[in-house]
Chains A and B, each alone.
Chain A
Amino acid sequence: MEDVNLANPAGMPPMVRIEALHKRYGALEVLRGVDLNVQSGEVVCIIGASGSGKTTLLRCVNFLEPYHQGRIWVDGTLVGYRESGGHLMPAPEREVARLRAETAMVFQGFNLFPHMTALRNVAFGPIKVRKTPKQQAMIRAQELLERVGLGTKADSYPAQLSGGQQQRVAIARAMAMDPKVMLFDEVTSALDPELVGEVLAVMKRLADDHGVTMMVVTHEMQFAREAASRVVFMDGGVVVEQGPPEQVLGDPRSARLRAFLSRYIAP
């Protein structure tokens, strides 16, 4: 597999480095040797059929799932384990938590905290994890809500917001941690079609203006085309093809990718 290092002409170490990653659920091997590097500032869109292991890959990156073989590093730190003498030992809880604080995740189902207002949801991580003074965290949270177009919804509870608004709050919550990497797992698939645009627009702006490193699992090919610096196609638990969007989406090489794309792009 050719490794296309578009965003890395200077040979900087990758922000996320995934090597020969294997992950099983019981007897089912879901990831079967994934190799993938993500450079700082890159927006990598991951596409692939249902069940190809995209969600599992993202969950391994911030160790919501343990993995069984291979390695993941985020900004040089081994994820979830400590290595000694070639053996992996589970890392202590604090270390895993510290790493997760650096890798924010936005979920398909939003997962906002229902007992907190939008503002409180966004300020919560900085206050409890970063120990940011409350006042300061609240001010920053308000700014972030404004940036995702929800400045007036600060005092609303998640149940009082539309799906698109909830997801934008969830993105603000992730941004509030100033993460090194943001992981997006099909964040628009649970939304009514008319609400997808507002969420994608927020993500597009994030990618363009803020230079945030993003790994985005998506079925939105238009978004991948416009926002991705690289598109990665997964199938059967491995990376089958990757490259610049125009190449991967416009001139697919493998038969599997062609078959997959034909279901999304009208002939």
Chain B
Amino acid sequence: MQVVWDNIGLLLIGLRSTLILSAVTVVSGSAVGLLGGVGLLFGPLPVRGLLRAYVDIVRGLPLLVLIFFIFYGLPAIGLDVRGFEAGALALSLFAGAHVSEIVRGGINAVPKGQIDAAKALGLTFWPRLAWVVFPQAAPSMLPPWINVVVEMVKGTSLVVLVSVNDLLFAATKVAERTANPMPLYLAAAALYFVVNFAISRSGAWLERRLSYG
């Protein structure tokens, strides 16, 4: 265990990148997913078609393939991306596709009578969505959304393969240098677990808060 304490600084720097990458991914992925889910349901036909293709294709790809595709693909068409950017983009697109489907399903499950009632009061599309539809869809969207967040935190570990200095990268580097991998991977695993456990628990708490009546 001594080797972990000796290198805790490096591990924490790695953890910091992992958390930043996760946060960026979750925020942008959720934004993409919100718009994507709404677009899937209410967009004009061509928009719906494009979004459907995006969601189905990305959900059918292993995350690593998407990361490589962007990391090697974008430079090939003349766009210069570093590992972190490629990783963030790939993870956001991945999260966006999954969240789109969650948002679509959540909105779709709100009874039609609710929309009629909101229309009859004179609410236009966006206020209807914001005040009537979304609050009712949120409780059912929360658990699968938390799943996506946890998957994203775990998914960030794949960006080690496009050499981003994340938690797993730091653990690997120290492990190689000290030739003592077990304690370091155990420490990394513990840190991933702590983060994801905290997310799940907050999710469960939020779920209780959101249930009404």
**Interface contacts beyond A104-B121, A112-B117: sample of 12 additional A-B pairs, CB < 8 Å, sorted by A:** A62-B120, A64-B116, A64-B119, A97-B124, A100-B120, A105-B116, A111-B111, A113-B118, A113-B132, A125-B122, A128-B127, A129-B121
Among A64, A97, A114, A128, point to the contact of B131 (Cβ < 8 A): A128
| Stretch in A25-33, A154-162, A208-216, A228-236 with 4+ CB within 8 Å of B | A154-162
Closest to A109 in B: B113
B119–A100 CB distance below 8 A: yes
Task: Please measure, in the bound complex, the distance between the C-alpha atom of A109 and the C-alpha atom of B118, giving whole angstroms.
Answer: 14
Task: Please measure, in the bound complex, the distance between the C-alpha atom of A129 and the C-alpha atom of B119, giving whole angstroms.
Answer: 11
Query: Does A107 sit at the interface, judged by CB under 8 A?
Result: yes
Query: Does A98 sit at the interface, judged by CB under 8 A?
Result: yes
B213–A100 CB distance below 8 A: no
Q: With a CB–CB cut-off of 8 A, which chain A residues contact B117?
A: 105, 107, 111-113
Task: Please measure, in the bound complex, the distance between the C-alpha atom of A93 and the C-alpha atom of B122, giving whole angstroms.
Answer: 10
Chain B contacts with A in 103-148, Cβ cutoff 8 A: 111, 113-114, 116-125, 127, 131-132, 135-136
Q: With a CB–CB cut-off of 8 A, which chain B residues contact A173?
A: 121
Closest to B134 in A: A115
B131–A111 CB distance below 8 A: no
Query: Does B205 sit at the interface, judged by CB under 8 A?
Result: no
Q: Which 10 pairs across A and B sit closest by C-beta, in order of nearness?
A: A101-B122, A159-B213, A111-B117, A125-B121, A111-B113, A157-B213, A105-B120, A129-B122, A100-B122, A97-B122
Q: With a CB–CB cut-off of 8 A, which chain B residues contact A67?
A: none
16 A–B contacts from the bound complex (CB under 8 Å)? A62-B120, A97-B123, A98-B122, A99-B122, A100-B119, A104-B121, A109-B113, A111-B117, A112-B117, A113-B114, A115-B136, A115-B213, A158-B213, A160-B213, A177-B121, A177-B122
Closest to B131 in A: A128
- Kindly provide the distance from the CB of A186 to the nearest chain B CB, expressed in whole angstroms: 13
Task: Please measure, in the bound complex, the distance between the C-alpha atom of A125 and the C-alpha atom of B124, giving whole angstroms.
Answer: 12
Assess A129 versus B213: contact at CB under 8 Å? Given A109-B113, A115-B136: no
Task: Please measure, in the bound complex, the distance between the C-alpha atom of A107 and the C-alpha atom of B122, giving whole angstroms.
Answer: 15
- Kindly provide the distance from the CB of B135 to the nearest chain A CB, expressed in whole angstroms: 5
Task: Please measure, in the bound complex, the distance between the C-alpha atom of A112 and the C-alpha atom of B213, giving whole angstroms.
Answer: 12
Query: Does A94 sit at the interface, judged by CB under 8 A?
Result: yes
Interface centre among B122, B123, B131, by most chain A C-beta atoms within 10 angstroms, is B122
Closest to B126 in A: A93
Q: With a CB–CB cut-off of 8 A, which chain B residues contact A94?
A: 124
Q: With a CB–CB cut-off of 8 A, which chain B residues contact A109?
A: 113
Task: Please measure, in the bound complex, the distance between the C-alpha atom of A159 and the C-alpha atom of B211, giving whole angstroms.
Answer: 12
Query: Does A81 sit at the interface, judged by CB under 8 A?
Result: no
Which of the four size classes fits the interface of chain A?
20 to 34
- Kindly provide the distance from the CB of B211 to the nearest chain A CB, expressed in whole angstroms: 10
Task: Please measure, in the bound complex, the distance between the C-alpha atom of A159 and the C-alpha atom of B136, giving whole angstroms.
Answer: 14
Closest to B118 in A: A113
- Kindly provide the distance from the CB of A2 to the nearest chain B CB, expressed in whole angstroms: 32
Interface centre among B113, B117, B131, B135, by most chain A C-beta atoms within 10 angstroms, is B117
Task: Please measure, in the bound complex, the distance between the C-alpha atom of A196 and the C-alpha atom of B136, giving whole angstroms.
Answer: 29
Closest to B110 in A: A114
Q: With a CB–CB cut-off of 8 A, which chain B residues contact A64?
A: 116, 119-120
Assess A114 versus B123: contact at CB under 8 Å? Given A109-B113, A157-B212, A160-B213: no
Q: With a CB–CB cut-off of 8 A, which chain B residues contact A104?
A: 120-121
A107–B121 CB distance below 8 A: no
Closest to A156 in B: B213
Task: Please measure, in the bound complex, the distance between the C-alpha atom of A11 and the C-alpha atom of B135, giving whole angstroms.
Answer: 47
A124–B131 CB distance below 8 A: yes
A111–B122 CB distance below 8 A: no
B135–A115 CB distance below 8 A: yes
A114–B212 CB distance below 8 A: yes
B121–A111 CB distance below 8 A: no
Task: Please measure, in the bound complex, the distance between the C-alpha atom of A105 and the C-alpha atom of B116, giving whole angstroms.
Answer: 9
Task: Please measure, in the bound complex, the distance between the C-alpha atom of A186 and the C-alpha atom of B116, giving whole angstroms.
Answer: 15
Task: Please measure, in the bound complex, the distance between the C-alpha atom of A113 and the C-alpha atom of B131, giving whole angstroms.
Answer: 10
A114–B213 CB distance below 8 A: yes
Among A102, A107, A115, A125, point to the contact of B212 (Cβ < 8 A): A115
Among B118, B120, B124, B136, point to the contact of A93 (Cβ < 8 A): B124
Among B119, B121, B125, B136, point to the contact of A114 (Cβ < 8 A): B136
